[in-house]
């Protein structure tokens, strides 16, 4: 049974699977956008060929998509703060953790917060 204090400090870490997938994927995307000349395309098989094609033919789209993804993560993080207040999560540390986790992992974090249903106190 959750207490009011438990609701105020509610935080759950995202799934390790999704945090790993997002970290590896976004790390690779960052590498492709910021240092495409250092990627060993020939060693990456079909992924390398596909990445080389994108870098050679759609570099602007890659760059714009990269910065748009970060902008979306900023928006999701700010929305997480709104949700924290709406759901009664008032603990500053919990809010900071939701903000940071959502900034770094986006919807993989935000979906946990959206699904959270705080316990409602009964009024007498």
pLDDT single digits (tens) 12-54: 999 999 999 999 999 999 999 999 999 999 999 999 999 999 9
Residue at 5 is within a domain:
no
Please state the rounded mean pLDDT for residues 56-63: 97
Handedness of CA 40, 46, 49, 53 (dihedral sign): negative
Residue at 20 is within a domain:
yes
pLDDT at 124: 52
pLDDT at 32: 97
Residue at 2 is within a domain:
no
pLDDT at 7: 77
Please state the rounded mean pLDDT for residues 78-96: 96
Find, among 118, 123, 124, the residue nearest to 1 by Cα. Answer: 118
Residue at 122 is within a domain:
no
Q: Give percent helix, percent strand, percent coil of the chain, each to the nearest 5.
A: 75, 0, 25
Q: Determine the Cα–Cα distance for residues 12 and 89; give it in Å rounded to an integer.
A: 12
**Paired tokens of 66:** 């990269």
Q: What is the pTM of this model?
A: 0.83
Tally of domains in the chain: 1
Residue 8 Cα distances to 94, 96, 115, 119, angstroms: 8, 13, 16, 11
Residue at 88 is within a domain:
yes
Higher-scoring residue by pLDDT: 99, 7:
99
pLDDT at 123: 55
Please state the rounded mean pLDDT for residues 75-90: 96
Residue at 78 is within a domain:
yes
Residue at 6 is within a domain:
no
**Domain containing 93: what range?**
13-115
Residue at 4 is within a domain:
no
């Amino acid at each position: 049974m959750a207490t009011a204090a438990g609701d105020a400090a509610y935080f759950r870490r995202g799934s390790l699977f999704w945090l790993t997938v997002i970290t590896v994927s976004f790390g690779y995307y960052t590498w492709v956008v910021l240092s495409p000349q250092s990627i060993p395309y020939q060693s990456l098989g079909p992924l390398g060929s596909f990445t080389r094609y994108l870098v050679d033919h759609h570099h602007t789209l890659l760059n714009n998509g990269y910065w748009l993804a970060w902008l979306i993560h900023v928006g999701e993080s700010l929305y997480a703060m709104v949700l924290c207040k709406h759901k009664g999560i008032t603990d500053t540390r919990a809010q900071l953790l939701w903000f940071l986790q959502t900034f770094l992992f986006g919807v993989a974090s935000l979906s946990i917060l959206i699904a959270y249903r705080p316990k409602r106190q009964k009024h007498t």
